[in-house]
Amino acid sequence: MFPSTIYQRTTRLLKKEKAWDKEIFYKVYQQLSGKMYSLCIRYTGNATDAREVFIESLSFLFNDSKSLTRYPLTEKKVRHIFVQGSIDYLLAKEKNLFKNTPLFISQGKIVLDNLGKYSDAELVHHITQLPTQHRIVFNLYLVENYSIDRISKLLGIDKIIVTSIVEKAKLVFMENALQPV
């Protein structure tokens, strides 16, 4: 039976051959590059950093391929690897990224219309225009659907700061979305 998803195909490829076989690496790269590279761009904000994060995360996936005998890849697991790779990269690049973050106090909860109304290209464009702090939290909260508590633990910052950044990021995103692409 032919696997139905890129994650099932990737799992089969990684189980079939040695992890660092060039042909297998290239096939996995082709299968994951679209969605996961786009994810890396949304987090890093530029193609150079996104390529570095993508390759690093893909390498991690290959190094972790031994666990595939017990746990086949799912989109959720692959996304987690690439999200974590992006965050680790950005936090290493800017050590004090979330230190002394000012609180943003809005007059009420900012409601952001459905993100589905934007094309993928528009969404990536508007997200990459956000400052790094906002871009990370916006992606985690509104795109990946992480909870405030999970983001707080992942980034090592207080929940109040996360909530403040979410609200400010939504406001900046909406302002950017009003500008022509």
User: Average pLDDT, stretch 78-95?
Assistant: 87
What is the token pair recorded at 12? Answer: 């089969």
**Does residue 22 lie within any of the structural domains?**
yes
Asked whether residue 12 is assigned to any structural domain, the reply reads: yes
Domain hosting 154: range is 115-178
Residue 2 pLDDT exceeds 50: no
Element (H, E) at 119: none
Burial class of 145 by CB neighbour count within 10 A (0 to 12, 13 to 18, 19+): exposed
Most confident residue range from 21-25, 102-106, 173-177:
173-177
* Residue 92 scores a pLDDT above 60: yes
User: Is 32 in the same domain as 88?
Assistant: yes
Considering the domain boundaries, does residue 104 fall inside one?
A: no
Residues 45-82 pLDDT 10s: 999 999 999 988 888 887 766 655 566 667 788 888 89
Q: Are residues 121 and 174 in the same domain?
A: yes
**How many alpha carbons lie under 13 Å from residue 36 in its C-beta half-sphere?**
30
State which H helix or E strand residue 24 sits in: helix 22-44
Residues 62 and 124 grouped into a single domain: no
Query: What is the spatial distance between Cα 166 and Cα 152, in angstroms, rounded to a whole number?
Result: 12
